Amino acid sequence: MKKLLTAIAVLACYVAVPAWGYNAEHFFKLGLDSNLANTKINYFTRAIELNPEFAKPYGYRAEAYRFMGMLDLAVRDATRAIEIGGKKRVIGKAYSTRSKAYKALGEKEKAEADLKKAVNMDPAYDIYEYFTTTEYLADSAGRSGSVKGIGWMGAAGMIAIAFVLIFKLTLPPPRKDNKNKDS
């Protein structure tokens, strides 16, 4: 009887060992490592099934949905990640993803509001502020039909480059100070 119980215990441990690695974090990491959007979505979905209060898979699945053009699903998942909360960086990424999805859906006001929230949550998204400003300038130039104005900006840039090349406007290299050097 003792041998039978030992055999059952060993068998139970043998069967249970592979299951230890298969938690939500495991499937989340598999989703990150995958190169295919559909596979990413499947892994993130499995992670969410195992732990529905894990915000990261919602945020990353939202980005995969957005990439696949499933914008309504992207907004839904990003919103769920924001509702769950967590680290500021995770929530900032969710706001950023939702902002991109709203922009693609044509809801520019919601997109800009989410972008501002993303920048406030995670300063790493600060660079997006410049992209939206550039896009705004390009849109306004396109609406006003001022292609000539953009041409002038290009000419000014070429003149600036010419000045740098002709007059070698560069910063001098730092000088070595030999006085502090020990002999």
- Whole-number mean pLDDT of the chain? 76
pLDDT over 90 at 134, yes or no: no
Relative orientation angle of helices 147-167 and 126-144, to the nearest 10 degrees? 120
Summarised one tens digit per residue, pLDDT across range 52-95 is 999 899 999 999 999 889 999 999 999 999 999 888 888 888 99
DSSP 133: H
Instruction: Calculate the alpha carbon distances from 108 to 24, 60, 76, 125, 178 in Å.
Output: 34, 22, 17, 18, 59
Kindly report the pTM of this predicted structure.
0.59
Which has more pLDDT, 22 or 59? 59
Alpha carbons 12 and 86: distance in angstroms, whole number: 36
Q: Which residues have C-beta within 8 Å of that of residue 161, sequence separation ≥ 6?
A: none
Summarised one tens digit per residue, pLDDT across range 137-164 is 444 444 444 555 566 777 778 888 887 7
The top-level CATH class assigned to 16-121 is mainly alpha
Summarised one tens digit per residue, pLDDT across range 23-49 is 888 888 888 888 888 889 999 999 999
pLDDT number for residue 18: 46
pLDDT band of 180, cuts 50, 70, 90? low
pLDDT over 90 at 14, yes or no: no
Average pLDDT over residues 7-11: 59
pLDDT over 60 at 105, yes or no: yes
